[in-house]
């Protein structure tokens, strides 16, 4: 009865993370949809892991050392096998700043070359931001630890009979974003290429035009299960509605605004209310329009 009472088979853990079983041996770890806070330890994103007889493959290591410990605690509630591999799907803080913890546990870390370049160029800013939002006390054991193994566009490996294909097909939310495909299970981990339930962020490190084509490349795999970078595990249809359709809408709206002689000072007049059902709409929509305006002007 207790299991039935929990939506999506989730269970709560400390640090605001929820465990969601996706399919046999595949789990999503779903963090809060808002910003980084002392309570969520910087884990304001979705992570995932795959259980194999040879150990655990973890997709994204969390936003801080303590956040990584919290992720590991959830994994330990399912299996006592160690995390043997960590994949960083991008350069944003919550994709990689937990690397130090898992490296200490003996895990090998894999990321795209572009993700590592991005991490190196932004780590200082990320630590300052985390110090402000999460607090220096919580951030203190966190170090910038980079991948042991990098790849340009594609990397494939097998652990305990499960095949993992990692693919970087261009800039999306960050320059080095990758998705992780499990062909035998038709499972896709998208990292920050897909946001559901909350509004995605187009920042200075993003490229909305290329993001659209990266999404198309990912979607062509026709995943049966999709673990997004933000939000609960879902299907391709919701990913398309909340991420792809929004990106198309945003770019079209801003392009029309420019076409009609719109000036950046009036960018707030671009109407995005169609997407006000997404969490963080109030704080992020205006900034997204502003960033896309700048992008389009340079195209
Ligand atoms: Zn993110």
Distance CA 117, CA 111 (A): 10
Residue 4 alpha carbon to ligand 1 centre in Å: 30
Residue 192 alpha carbon to ligand 1 centre in Å: 5
Residue 187 alpha carbon to ligand 1 centre in Å: 19
Q: What is the pTM of this model?
A: 0.94
> Tokens standing for 63?
């936003």
For 257, phi then psi, to 5°, come to: -60, -45
Residue 93 alpha carbon to ligand 1 centre in Å: 8
Residue 29 alpha carbon to ligand 1 centre in Å: 13
Residue 45 alpha carbon to ligand 1 centre in Å: 6
Residue 79 alpha carbon to ligand 1 centre in Å: 26
Residue 191 alpha carbon to ligand 1 centre in Å: 7
User: Which class for 65: exposed (0-12), middle (13-18), buried (19 or more C-beta within 10 A)?
Assistant: buried
The reported pLDDT for the residue numbered 8 is: 43
Distance CA 147, CA 86 (A): 9
pLDDT digits (tens, 9 = 90+) for 143-174: 999 999 999 999 999 999 999 999 999 999 99
pLDDT digits (tens, 9 = 90+) for 33-42: 999 999 999 9
Residue 87 alpha carbon to ligand 1 centre in Å: 14
pLDDT digits (tens, 9 = 90+) for 44-85: 999 999 999 999 999 999 999 999 999 999 999 999 999 999
Residue 220 alpha carbon to ligand 1 centre in Å: 22
Residue 262 alpha carbon to ligand 1 centre in Å: 30
Distance CA 264, CA 168 (A): 32
> Side-chain half-sphere of 187: how many Cα atoms within 13 Å?
21
pLDDT-derived band at 15 (thresholds 50, 70, 90) equals low
Please work out, in degrees rounded to the nearest 5, the angle formed at the alpha carbon of residue 227 by the alpha carbons of 274 and 113.
105
Q: Do the strands 187-195 and 179-182 form a parallel or antiparallel pair, or are they unpaired?
A: antiparallel
List CB contacts of 204: < 8 A, sequence separation 6 or more.
Answer: 291
The reported pLDDT for the residue numbered 299 is: 87
Residue 87 host element (H or E)? strand 83-88
Residues 116, 128: contact at Cβ < 8 Å? no
User: Which class for 77: exposed (0-12), middle (13-18), buried (19 or more C-beta within 10 A)?
Assistant: exposed
């Amino acid at each position: 009865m207790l299991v039935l009472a929990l939506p999506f088979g989730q269970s709560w853990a400390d640090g605001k993370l929820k465990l969601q079983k996706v399919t046999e041996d595949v789990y999503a770890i779903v963090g809060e949809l808002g910003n980084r806070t002392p309570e969520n330890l910087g884990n304001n994103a979705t992570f995932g892991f795959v259980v194999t007889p040879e150990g655990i493959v973890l997709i994204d290591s969390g936003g801080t050392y303590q956040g990584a410990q919290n992720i590991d605690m959830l994994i330990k509630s399912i299996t006592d096998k160690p995390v043997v591999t960590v994949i960083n799907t991008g350069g944003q803080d919550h994709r990689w700043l937990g690397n130090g913890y898992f490296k200490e546990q003996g895990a090998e870390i894999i990321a795209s070359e572009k993700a590592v370049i991005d991490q190196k160029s932004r780590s200082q800013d990320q630590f300052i931001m985390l110090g402000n939002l999460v607090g220096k006390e919580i951030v203190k054991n966190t170090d910038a630890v980079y991948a042991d193994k990098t790849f340009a566009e594609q990397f494939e490996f097998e652990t305990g009979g499960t095949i993992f294909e990692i693919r970087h097909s261009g800039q999306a939310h960050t320059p080095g974003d990758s998705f992780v495909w499990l062909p035998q299970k038709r499972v896709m981990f998208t990292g920050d290429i897909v946001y559901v339930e909350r509004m995605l962020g187009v920042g200075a490190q993003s490229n909305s035009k290329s993001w659209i084509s990266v999404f198309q490349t990912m979607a062509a795999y026709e995943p049966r299960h999709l673990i997004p970078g933000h939000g609960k595990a879902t299907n391709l249809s919701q990913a398309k509605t909340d991420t792809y359709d929004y990106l198309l809408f945003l770019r079209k709206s801003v392009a029309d605004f420019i076409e009609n002689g719109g000036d950046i000072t009036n960018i707030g007049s671009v109407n995005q209310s169609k997407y006000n059902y997404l969490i963080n709409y109030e704080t992020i929509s205006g900034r997204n329009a502003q960033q896309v305006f700048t992008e389009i002007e340079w195209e």
